[in-house]
Amino acid sequence: MKTIDELIDGGIEGKRVFVRADLNVPLEGSTITDDGRIRAVAPTIAKLAAAGAKVIVASHLGRPKGAPDPKFSLAPAATRLGEILGKNVSFATDTVGDSAKATVAALANGEVTLLENLRFNAGETSKDDAERGAFADELASLADLYVGDGFGAVHRKHASVFDLPKRLPHAAGDLIATEVGVLKKLTAEVQRPYVVVLGGAKVSDKLGVIDNLLKKADRILIGGGMSYTFLAAKGHEVGISLLQEDQKGKCLEYLAEAEKRGVEFVLPVDVLVSADFPDLKTKAPANPEVVATDAMPADKEGLDIGPKTRELYAAKLADAGTVFWNGPMGVFEHPDYANGTKAVAQALLDSDGFTVVGGGDSAAAVRILGFDENAFGHISTGGGASLEYLEGKTLPGLAALED
């Protein structure tokens, strides 16, 4: 992939550079609750602006239905990006309409604008090549060069990710270059022991990555909602916990394959349970009960790993040469169920190995729970993209940049 340094060396002063970023940040009303993705791409935008480019930033946010929806507007992201860059970021109220054309035309060298949510146009996510291509043509008319730096979207075959770079001279931004470099360390240049920690709600979301990492990892530690399907597969009562009944057979296959390959496959030995899901708004005390995983009550739900499991997982991470962590250990948004996720994060900080927090809820948890982001080896901006890369899949956005 061509780098933006190579692009800059070729001269970009006065050129209109389209930057596909990932500004898909969580919002409460118009308030951004986690600006990590904006901060991650800001250095690329600043570098291009400093080289005299007219920078056009574009992103998606949420899942609007191919039409404008005020609750998914990127206007708050424009304001926050301007604060981070220390300069005004103008905002176009559409993607390829009159506002976008006028805003881009008004850019002076070194200035930055942000287009409205790309998914307000149905062509962005269309499965029809012609419809997607037509939208990419309109986007291409706004720019002279393309920089792909939205790592969190590179696994999507979307117009701005896959089709647009085929229409303009293109390069990979610094964030994507960093993300790909890190993922290579998790696949081709692994320091051992290689420990993978997987959490989150559903086993089905992690099937591909488990399948591939069983061939590479030395240990796999399971937590979060997905752990209850594994426990149920082994014959344990899991009460009213999250359960994917149709995945129990696959879980048994993975456990057998791990034993065959000599991979440690570690499940929780105790959990925090309650009859009621906690109130995440008021954070009212939940008073959970700690039980062994072979003694879960039939009328209660597992909501976090227990203290013995926290100690066990910390011990399994202590000597790691490489750690990849994707998915929280419990309902970390509530203080009574945050200790499992905290324990994993702290174990990564205590490790002398190369530690990667694999985006998504794990990255959000690290920030929400107050950990120093810079203390980890790398915090990814793309949970889904990271997982698909580790599955061995070809990611459309990366393939488009390699052409």
For position 357, what pLDDT does the model report? 93
pLDDT at 361: 84
Tokens representing 259 are 């034993």
Cβ-contact 186, 212 below 8 angstroms:
no
Residue 112 has pLDDT above 80, yes or no: yes
Tell whether residue 359 is among the known ligand binding residues. Answer: yes
pLDDT of residue 5: 96
Please give the mean pLDDT across all residues of the chain.
Answer: 95
For 337, how many CA atoms within 13 A lie in the half-sphere containing its CB?
30
Residue 223 is part of a domain; what is its CATH number?
3.40.50.1260
- % of the chain beyond a pLDDT of 90: 87
Whether 196 is covered by a domain: the verdict is yes
Query: What is the Cα–Cα distance from 97 to 157, expressed in whole angstroms?
Result: 23
Grouping H, G, I as helix, E, B as strand and the rest as coil, residue 222 is: strand
Average pLDDT on 295-321 reads: 97
- CA distance linking residue 163 with residue 158, whole number of Å: 7
Task: Give me the domain span that covers residue 126.
Answer: 4-175
Residue 305 reports pLDDT greater than 90: yes
Please give the sequence-ordered ranges of beta strands (E in DSSP) within 15-157, or none if there are none. 16-20, 27-28, 31-32, 54-58, 89-91, 112-114, 145-148
Name residue 147's beta-bridge partners. 19, 171
**In angstroms, rounded to a whole number, what is the distance separating the alpha carbons of residues 361 and 383?**
8
Q: How far apart are CA 323 and CA 30, in angstroms?
A: 35
In this structure, the answer to whether residues 213 and 135 fall within a common structural domain is no
Which residues, 6 or more positions from 80, have their beta carbon under 8 angstroms from its beta carbon? Answer: 25, 32, 35, 38
Given strand 89-91, what is the order of strands in its sheet? 89-91, 112-114, 54-58, 16-20, 145-148, 170-172
Q: Are 155 and 258 found together in one domain?
A: no
The response to whether 250 counts as a known ligand-binding position is: no
Each residue's pLDDT tens digit, 330-358: 999 999 999 999 999 999 999 999 999 98
348 and 239 in a common domain: yes
Note whether residue 396 is domain-resident.
no
One of 202, 308, 367, 393 is an active-site residue; which one? 202
Q: pTM value?
A: 0.89
| pLDDT above 80 (res 83) | yes
Q: Quote the pLDDT of residue 202.
A: 85
Cis peptide before 193 (omega within 30 of 0): yes
Closest CA to 359 of 1, 36, 18: 36
The CA R_g of the chain, rounded to the nearest whole Å, is 22
The answer to whether the annotation marks 223 as part of a ligand binding site is no
Q: Do 207 and 351 reside in the same domain of the chain? A: yes
Tell whether 142 and 193 lie within a shared domain: no
pLDDT at 165: 98
Assess whether 201 and 321 both reside in one domain. Answer: yes
pLDDT value for 391? 87
385 within domain boundaries:
no
Q: What pLDDT is recorded for position 169?
A: 97
Residue 219 annotated in ligand binding? no
Q: Is 22 annotated as a binding residue?
A: yes
Residue 110: CA count within 13 A, CB half-sphere: 6
Residue 102 has pLDDT above 80, yes or no: yes
**Beta bridge partners of residue 195, listed in sequence order:** 219, 323
Catalytic residue among 37, 80, 157, 216: 37
Average pLDDT value for residue range 59-84:
96
Alpha helix segments (H runs only) across 271-359? 307-317, 339-350
* Euclidean distance between CA atoms 153 and 95, whole angstroms: 17
Residue 111 lies in a domain: yes
Report the candidate in 383, 340, 341 with the shortest Cα–Cα distance to residue 366. 341
Residue pair 338/317 in contact by the 8 Å Cβ criterion? no
261 labelled as ligand-binding?
no
- Is 119 among the annotated ligand-binding positions? yes
Burial label for 150, CB within 10 Å (0-12, 13-18, 19+), is buried
- 348 among the known binding-site residues? no
For 54, phi then psi, to 5°, come to: -95, 105
Residues 281 and 370 in one domain: yes
- Alpha carbon dihedral 308, 310, 316, 318, in 10-degree steps, equals -120
Confidence of residue 188 (pLDDT cuts 50, 70, 90): confident
| Active site (annotated) includes residue 360 | yes
Annotated binding residue 61 = yes
Question: Is 206 part of any known ligand binding site?
Answer: yes
- Identify whether residues 320 and 357 lie together within a single domain: yes
Tell me the HSE value of 63 on the side-chain side, using a 13 A CA sphere: 0
Structure confidence by residue, pLDDT tens digits, 257-288: 999 999 999 999 999 999 999 998 899 999 89
Q: In angstroms, rounded to a whole number, what is the distance separating the alpha carbons of residues 336 and 368?
A: 14
pLDDT at position 382 over 90: no
Q: Annotated catalytic residue: which of 327, 353, 360, 397?
A: 360
Burial 95-108, CB ≥16 within 10 A → b, else e: bbeebbeebbeebe
Domain count, the chain: 2
The answer to whether residue 392 sits within a structural domain is no
Residue 166 within a domain: yes
174 CB burial (10 A radius; 0-12, 13-18, 19+): middle
Give the relative orientation of helices 360-368 and 339-350 as an angle to the nearest 10 degrees: 90
- Domain boundary, last residue among 116, 141, 175: 175
Is the pLDDT score of 187 beyond 80?
yes
pLDDT at 17 over 90: yes
Residue 365: alpha-carbon gap to chain centroid: 12
Residue 110: active-site member: no
Say whether pLDDT at 191 is over 80: yes
Domain boundary among 107, 141, 175: 175
Same domain, 196 and 169: no
Say whether both 46 and 141 belong to one domain. yes
**Where does the pLDDT of residue 293 fall: very low under 50, low under 70, confident under 90, or very high at 90 and above?**
very high
Looking at the domain assignment, is residue 399 inside a domain?
A: no
- 31 pLDDT band, cuts 50/70/90, is very high
Among 148, 175, 202, identify where a domain stops: 175
Residues 133-165 have pLDDT tens digits of 999 999 999 999 999 999 999 999 999 999 999
Q: Assess if residue 295 is contained within a domain.
A: yes
* Residue 346, CA distances (Å) to 269, 370, 373 in order: 19, 11, 12
Residue 11's pLDDT is 95
202 flagged as catalytic: yes
360 is in an annotated binding site: yes
Are 169 and 190 found together in one domain?
no
Residue 90 shares a structural domain with residue 196: no
Does the pLDDT value for residue 360 go beyond 80? no
Judge whether 37 counts as a catalytic residue: yes
